Amino acid sequence: MILLVEDDPADVELTLRALKTINLANHIQVVRDGAAALDFLRTTKELPKVVMLDLKLPKLSGIEVLTAIRKDPRHKLIPVVVMTSSREEPDVAACYALGVNSYIVKPVEFEAFAKAVAEVGLYWMLLNQPPRV
């Protein structure tokens, strides 16, 4: 399962469409803010194989969510991929300092965005070999 943490409805729709083209759309849980992401992780029995995390979120920022994930022994090994519009070096540096697995700047063009999402989904869901948690 992929946990998509994204508040922009257009980006959610584009992400779901891209994942549907590679048959991964039925393996996705969408939450719209940082607090909902942490609530989901606390209450779910099936941990996601990857968290796709936006940085600019309501309630708790993506950096706050990433911090909480990395501090929780149950969740700290879950791969987190930041997908954001921010190219700001402090954001990139902060995410890597907190242990993000990948930082991707969202492409503006639809085709490039869809390709990036599909590649992230394929890699983390099918190719990556995670440790047993």
Residue by residue, DSSP assigns 13-72 as HHHHHHHHHTT-GGGEEEESSHHHHHHHHHH-SS--SEEEE-SS-SSS-HHHHHHHHHHS
Q: What is the chain's length?
A: 133
Residue 11 is part of which domain span?
Answer: 2-123
Read off the pTM: 0.93
Q: Do the domain assignments include residue 131?
A: no
- Asked if residues 52 and 2 have their Cβ atoms less than 8 Å apart, the reply is yes
Q: How far is CA 57 from CA 111, 119, 122, in A?
A: 24, 23, 25
| The predicted structure's pLDDT at residue 133 | 60
Q: Radius of gyration over alpha carbons of the chain, in Å? A: 14
- CATH number for the domain including 66? 3.40.50.2300
Q: Do the domain assignments include residue 88?
A: yes
Count: domains in the chain: 1
pLDDT in tens, the chain (133 residues): 999 999 999 999 999 999 998 888 778 999 999 999 999 999 999 999 999 999 999 999 999 999 999 999 999 999 999 999 999 999 999 999 999 999 999 988 989 999 999 999 999 988 988 877 6
Q: Do the domain assignments include residue 128?
A: no
Q: Do the domain assignments include residue 40?
A: yes
| The predicted structure's pLDDT at residue 7 | 96
| The predicted structure's pLDDT at residue 11 | 94
Q: Using the 8-state DSSP alphabet, how is residue 77 labeled?
A: T
Q: Do the domain assignments include residue 132?
A: no
**Which residues, at least 6 apart from 45, have a Cβ–Cβ distance to it below 8 Å?**
none
| The predicted structure's pLDDT at residue 108 | 86
Q: Do the domain assignments include residue 57?
A: yes
Tokens read off for 121: 């989904």
The label of the residue with tokens 């965005």 reads 113
